[in-house]
Structure 1
Amino acid sequence: MGNREDLLAGAKRCLYEKGYGRTTARDIASAAGVSLAAIGYHYGSKDALLIQAMIEAVAEWGDAVGGLLADRGGAAATPEERFVAAWDRVLESFVEHRELWAVQFEISAGTGSSPELQEALAAVQRSARLGLSALFQGLEEVPDTPDELARGAFYQSLLAGLAVQWFTAPDQAPDGRELLRGLRLVGGSVLGAPAPAEP
């Protein structure tokens, strides 16, 4: 790896170990085994590097979850069974990627004090929604359309809410079956149709 890649790997390690707010440029340079000046040369600033590291870490989580979601009961599974399996696997991913979610919450809470951070996160919002839409449909990618953005925004909201509940009280976080039941109930009340009976 070159200095640029070493810095990115070092920044990810620091994010997981120290969080966004407590990581210094010196911490990253030390973790990467490069000079402090390399951060400015390759990324412009410590914050720009940390933001890029966070984006890459989330993409890695997406790849890992994509692998978990690849087999959600096979071709014989119903859409409901695939939905339940997908969200149960997302819950499993929280255990393995706990540090990533902790950093995301920290960053989300601190965006108001950092216009650079807020701007960077806003810039990736559209691609994040399209990525989630594709991920939960089991597709490589989806077209950039209002429907796919809406679908992705729904999944993003559900994912963030589930993560908050899991971090707050893991034993009380809803599993895939509970999420499906909630979706049926909400869909029924919003669309004016009775929710189907629980199987």
Structure 2
Amino acid sequence: MGNREALLDGAKKCLLEKGYDRTTVRDIATAAGVSMAAIGYHYGSREALLQEALFSSLEDWDAGLQAQLAKLDEPKGPKRFEAVWNLLIEHVKANSTMWMSSFELFMQAQRSPELMAVYAQGQPGAFSAMAALATGELEEDLDPETIDTVGAVQMALVSGVVMQWMGYPDNAPGPKEIAAGLRGIVAALDD
């Protein structure tokens, strides 16, 4: 393994142990077993390396989550909704550091047009994945309107629920409360 790959692996390890904001150049270099100067040489900056490490980790993380979701043997409907949300909540509990790192990076993007552009590039794929999660359909079978509406709302819902589970796990909603809340919103729209 070369220094570039060692740095990426070291940065991934640091993200899981310390999070985005608390990881230093020294931490990454130590974890990778290379000099601190190697970060600048191979990635340009700590931020660029951590961003690549986080996006790479998120891809791996998402692939694992998608594999778990693919194993769900529930047809569409209330039981599948509950199974999906149980899986997501367990994923939050098991991967809280990664979720936190993704929120930290998003906050960094608010001050970085370059990083926000990277987020914007991934947004259509994220909405498509969220729409598939909500509907139980395959992503390739979804129409653009469903992706733009259901996907965006599901993304907002997942983000909000994740934040609640990370900050207030004793009071965070589970699948039954989420379903009841959505039914209440729909009922309010029908009045």
Give the structure-1-normalised TM-score. Answer: 0.81
The answer to whether 1:20 aligns with 2:20 is yes
Superposition deviation, residue 144 in structure 1: 7.8
Question: Which structure 2 residues correspond to residues 92-103 of structure 1 after superposition, within 5 A?
Answer: 92-103=90-101
Aligned-pair CA distance for 1:135: 4.3
Matched residue, 1:153 = 152
Residues 66, 135 of structure 1: 8 Å contact kept: no
Change (3 A) 1:57 1:144: farther
Aligned to 2:146, what secondary structure does the other structure show? Answer: helix
Displacement after TM superposition at 1:184 (Å) = 1.7
Task: Identify the residue that residue 11 of structure 2 maps to in structure 1.
Answer: 11
- TM alignment of 1:1-80, pairs within 5 A: 1-74=1-74, 77-80=75-78
User: CA–CA distance in 2 between the matches of 1:161 and 1:78?
Assistant: 23
Q: 1:107 corresponds to which residue?
A: 105
> Is 1:170 the equivalent of 2:174?
no
| CA pair 56-85 structure 1, distance change in 2 beyond 3 A | same
Q: Sequence identity, in percent?
A: 42
One-letter amino acid of the counterpart of residue 92, structure 2: F
- Contact 1:142/1:148 (<8 A) preserved: no
**Deviation digits for residues 125-183 of structure 1, max 9, x if unmatched?**
22222233334536365668243132221121111100111112212111112211222
| Counterpart Cα distance in 2 of 1:128 and 1:8 | 23
> 1:130 aligned to 124, 128, 131, which one?
128
Distance 1:120 1:132, change over 3 A: same
Contact 1:20 1:106 in 2 (8 A): yes
Could you tell me which residue of structure 2 aligns to residue 197 of structure 1? none
In the alignment, residue 84 of structure 1 is paired with which amino acid? E
Which stretch shifts more, 124-133 or 177-186? 124-133
How far, CA to CA, are the matches of 1:141 and 1:31 in structure 2? 40
Q: Distance in 1 between matches of 2:129 and 2:5?
A: 24
Distance 1:129 1:172, change over 3 A: same
Partner of 1:179: 178
CA RMSD of superposed structures (Å): 2.5
The residue type equivalent to 1:126 in the other structure is P
How many residues end up aligned between the 2 structures? 190
Which ranges of structure 1 fall in alignment gaps of 5 or more residues? 194-199
1:120 paired to 2:122? no
**Matched-pair contact (CA < 8 Å) for 1:132–1:156:** yes
Residues 65-123 of structure 1 show CA distances to partners (whole Å, capped at 9, x for unaligned) of 2233223343xx34221111101110011111010112223233343334443333233
Task: Please give the alpha-carbon distance, in whole angstroms, between the structure 1 residues aligned to 2:56 and 2:143.
Answer: 21
Cα distance change on mapping 1:142 and 1:31 into 2, 3 Å: farther
CA distance in 2, matches of 1:20, 1:78: 37
